[in-house]
Amino acid sequence: MNDTSISEPAAPAAPDLAAATPMLAQYLEIRRAYPDCLLFYRMGDFYELFFEDAITAARALSLTLTRRGKHNGEDIPLCGVPVHAAETYLARLIRLGYRVAVCEQTEDPAAAKKRGAKAVVKREVVRLITPGTLTEDSLLDAKRHNYLAALAETGGSGGAMGFAWLDLSTGEFWLQPVDPQRLGSLLARVSPGEVLVSDRFTARPEFFETFQPWKAALTPLPPSRFDSENGRRRLEALYGVKALDAFGAFGRAELAAGGALVDYVELTQKGRVPSLSTPIRIADASVMEIDPATRRNLELAESLAGERTGSLLQCIDRTLTGAGARMLAARLAAPLTDPAAIDRRLDMVAWFVADARRRETVRTALKGVGDIERALSRLGLGRGGPRDLAGLRDALGRIPDLKRAIGDGGLSGIPAGLAEAVTELGEHGVLVERLTRALGADLPLMARDGGFIAAGYTAELDELRTLRDASRKLIAELQGRYAADTKIPSLKIRHNNVLGYFIEVTQTHADKITAGAGSRFIHRQTLAGAMRFTTVELGELETKITSAADKALALELVLFEDLVKEVSARAAAIAGAARAIAALDVAAALAELAVERRYCRPVVDQSLEFVITGGRHPVVESALAEAGGTAFIANDCALAASDKRIWLLTGPNMAGKSTFLRQNALIAVLAQLGSYVPADAARIGVVDRLFSRVGAADDLARGRSTFMVEMVETATILNRATERSLVILDEIGRGTATFDGLSIAWATVEHLHEANRCRALFATHYHELTALAARLAGLACWTMRVKEWQDEVVFLHEVAPGAADRSYGIHVARLAGLPAAVIARAEEVLRKLEAGEQANAATKLADDLPLFSAARPKSGGAPGATAPSAIETALREVNPDELTPKAALEALYRLRGLLARK
Ligand SMILES: Nc1ncnc2c1ncn2[C@@H]1O[C@H](COP(=O)(O)OP(=O)(O)O)[C@@H](O)[C@H]1O
Ligand SMILES: [Mg+2]
């Protein structure tokens, strides 16, 4: 059914250029309109790619590159993908960062033929596929949102910034103002598949670092796309003027971002905008700030290796539906800071924890519920199919069960969040009943394949089908009659797409049919072993059949559109039900987790305390349980602004320092997302910002010196941590020489204590730092207990008060298999060093150094402006140009002497 020219099988000689020209002209014109996309050009059952596109796609998809026809005297490269398998190829191209324009045939090739032999079938780009605008299940991860985001700014550099993001596949839509300092955290939190930015932004050096990890996702657009007045008009047109005011007082930059998003959706969806929920405005401070490094470090949604396996999310996810999994991921990405809002979520979990039977009933009802958010959006965009309707029927059909399970005894005694969810589930009986009556058992993916409307749904369709089937029976009867008449038992009536119905006999019997001038059999075709005929009778019957089948299909399509219309009219209610189902799924799943893994309900309040009793690391604990070996050792942690707000944790390698630090950060995240936590008890004064750093983290992927990374990250913490923040520092300063590192670690602890005044856990192998405890009232020393036994060190994984007296590095070296001679020599050197001055250098440092200048930030005195030391004065007096070698040596001894006296 392909139309002419370049898609036809390769002719041995070059195809006629003149024949290719009209189509090529059409192709080139469409191609020009979408310069940054690969063009999927529909030809019959294939999407074909030509020229550069063909070369690119063939390489990316391992397709065979062929050549077809000529353009300007050169062969035209070509490759194609079959339409029925296109989604797989699209998925791969999108993942590789390409954008695709899908160009369809918008008229029947037969209609084009009527205009003339060389007429080209009309074609149009119906959709641009970009990473942020996917709606197909096969292109999406069921458990993750795929956000399209936009970043806008008003008033040029330094003006207000706004951020907007939506999930086209579910219709959710958010806006929020942006603090430029928090842009990196915001991007990491939302983790958009595609970000629209003005090309002015990408050129600004202060954002280079921030945008670096998002390079592949950035879609730069001209600044004119981000006009705030246009944005306001766009949104007002979409939601109605009054509605927009009712959503909240949006800043101009937010409107500009939101408008750019809607604009882009229209552009890529060719004018079809799915029903978007009304935008929700998020205040920056309502969400715990977690910067990208902390997220990576704590392995919240992905392990350090970039996989879901090993992440906190994977460890806690017991959801049963795609929408539930997405909601949990979104909550984990953005823990709350309002204790009341957190409690509301915890109440829901608690209700499911308290009653195993109800939890089970609800979870049974949720099992197998399809992704109705995404089905709804596809139907809204005109690319849904019968299976999407069936998904709605099944999911909405579960609602009565869900309601019964929760609200059996009335809604008065149950938590507010649950009561609200039950109300939001809504009433969909009429729609479910209609869909149940309408849809048959075996459903095709596409409506155009037909056969999905159930028998008995409409009399008209039933009649057409009976007519079609009855005629088919008549054909069978006709075959019997002709076989008898002609005495050819092997006579068959067959069907193909070219001839339609025809009578076929073998060559040997052919003369029995052709005999007699008045034969009713009309010759159609002669093949090697067979001859084909038709009759007037057969022709008439065929017309009846095809017209009945055509009419039946056309009617089915009308009925399908009716059903889609009914669904669209109820889109808001269905979206509400989808949200409620997701919320129930998350609450029941977190309860399941809590019971299964013995988590407790945390108390989250406005205090500045962080008191965990019997805390565990959720992921390490699960891993140990799975391995079936040793049990995880629980540990307490108690930080309070008024008392010991910083714990300095020392202990040998492998003793469990990092695990302890991280488990406390994870407990804070879990509590504030509204989950139970792996502990016996937990009281958490709400954390506004969470920071976690590991010394010398390898960051080869970003090509930066590890020590530089460490320092940049430490700087962020010292600049941004507030009294309400929780800071986890793991072996900061490890990435450089000992004294350098020690000094930096030293100064960092002082600054956190005096200036930031945040709650912090600081693990270090510089046991010299413990000397600081004497000076800093809020600093407490803790250590990982070890037992030495027959020259072996046994890790107890217990956190206990006190300080490690040494780092056990040599012990670890022995474990690692360093040669015995090296170990022995190292022990000897260590003894020497410890006996020497070095041992009490740190204690002296603590006594001598004036406390870090940040201790008195407002006292005015320039930091470091102390009187010159004796050494400095002596050094100034030396003039190296005038010294003899002997005098120089003497001067050196003198200086050394001054040092000793200090
Ligand atoms: N509380 C604990 N209970 C049981 N095993 C633990 C505990 N803490 C740590 N471990 C085990 O010890 C290993 C090393 O812990 P880690 O925190 O990396 O030590 P460090 O940071 O002190 O070098 C972990 O991989 C884990 O298997
Ligand atoms: Mg460690």
- Residue 437 reports pLDDT greater than 70: yes
Asked whether residue 317 is domain-assigned, the answer is no
Q: What percent of the chain has pLDDT over 90?
A: 47
Q: What is the CATH number of the domain that holds 44?
A: 3.40.1170.10
Domain shared by 713 and 827, yes or no: no
User: pTM for this one?
Assistant: 0.82
Instruction: Using pLDDT thresholds of 50, 70 and 90, give the confidence band for residue 375.
Output: very high
For the residues 607-621, what does the mean pLDDT come to?
Answer: 96
Instruction: Report the C-alpha gap between 580 and 141 in whole angstroms.
Output: 21
Cβ 799 under 6 angstroms from ligand 1: no
pLDDT tens digits for range 771-800: 888 889 999 999 998 887 776 778 889 999
268: tokens are 């890529």
Q: Whose CA is nearest to atom 4 of ligand 1?
A: 632
Domain range for 533:
459-555
Give me the mean pLDDT over the 410-422 stretch.
88
pLDDT band (50, 70, 90) for residue 516 = low
Neighbours of 290 (CB within 10 A): 26
655 lines ligand 1 (CB under 6 A): yes
Same domain for 667 and 781, yes or no, is: yes
For residue 294, tell me if it sits in a domain: no
**Same domain membership, residue 727 and residue 607:** yes
* Residue 319 placed within a domain: no
pLDDT at 10: 35
Gap between the Cα atoms of 774 and 707, Å rounded? 29
Q: Which of 734 and 24 is assigned the larger pLDDT?
A: 24
Nearest Cα to Cα of residue 191 among 214, 174, 219: 214
Q: How many CB atoms lie within 10 A of CB 794?
A: 11
- What mean pLDDT is predicted for residues 477-490? 90
Give me ligand 1 centre to Cα 353, in Å.
30
Q: How confident is the model at residue 737 (pLDDT cuts 50, 70, 90)?
A: low
Residue 627 lies in a domain: yes
Q: Give the pLDDT confidence score for residue 642 in this predicted structure.
A: 84
**Co-location of 384 and 468 in the same domain:** no
Task: Encode pLDDT of 150-178 as tens digits.
Answer: 999 887 666 889 999 999 888 889 999 99
Query: In terms of pLDDT, which residue wins out, 245 or 152?
Result: 152
Question: Rounded CA gap, 389 and 239, in Å?
Answer: 26
Residues 469 and 423 in one domain: no
540 CA to centre of ligand 2 in angstroms: 84
Which residue, 425, 380, 367, 181, is CA-closest to 274? 380
Assigned domain for 565 exists: no
Phi, psi of 462, deg, nearest 5: -60, -45
**In the predicted model, is pLDDT for residue 582 greater than 80?**
yes
The reply to whether 417 falls in a domain is yes
CA distances from 290 to 274, 286, 298, 689, 756 (A): 32, 12, 10, 6, 17
Domain boundary among 241, 264, 284: 284
**Do 542 and 682 fall within a single domain?**
no
Q: Which pLDDT band, with edges at 50, 70 and 90, does 228 fall under? A: confident
Residue 507 has pLDDT above 60, yes or no: yes
CATH number for the domain including 349?
Answer: 1.10.1420.10
pLDDT at 339: 97
Tell me if 650 CB under 6 Å of ligand 1.
no
Asked whether 653 lines ligand 1 (CB < 6 A), one says yes
pLDDT at 428: 95
Check if the beta carbon of residue 608 is closer than 8 Å to that of residue 673: no
Query: What is the model's pLDDT at position 17?
Result: 40
Residues 861 and 884 in one domain: no
Domain assignment present for 443: no
Domain co-membership, 685 together with 580: no
Asked whether 171 and 276 are in contact (CB, 8 A), the reply is yes
Hey, what are 346's tokens?
Answer: 């915890």
Distance 670 CA to ligand 2 centre (A): 22
Q: Are residues 787 and 685 in the same domain?
A: yes
State the angle between helix axes of 372-380 and 571-597 in degrees (0 to 180), rounded to the nearest 10: 160
Counted domains in the chain: 7
Residue 896 or residue 669, greater confidence? 669
Domain final position from 69, 96, 129: 129
Asked whether residue 478 falls in the same domain as residue 414, the answer is no
Atom 14, ligand 1: residue with shortest CA distance? 654
Average pLDDT, the chain: 86
Are 255 and 231 contacting, i.e. CB atoms less than 8 angstroms apart?
yes
DSSP symbol at 223: G
| 657 Cα to the center of ligand 1, angstroms | 7
User: 134 lies in a domain?
Assistant: no
616 in the same domain as 514: no
Residue 807: which CATH number? Answer: 3.40.50.300
Atom of ligand 1 nearest to the CA of 651: 22
Are 615 and 712 part of one and the same domain? yes
CATH of the domain at 179: 3.30.420.110
The pLDDT value given to residue 900: 62
- Read off the pLDDT of each residue in 696-702 and give the average, rounded to a whole number: 49
Quick one: which ligand is closest to 662's CA?
1
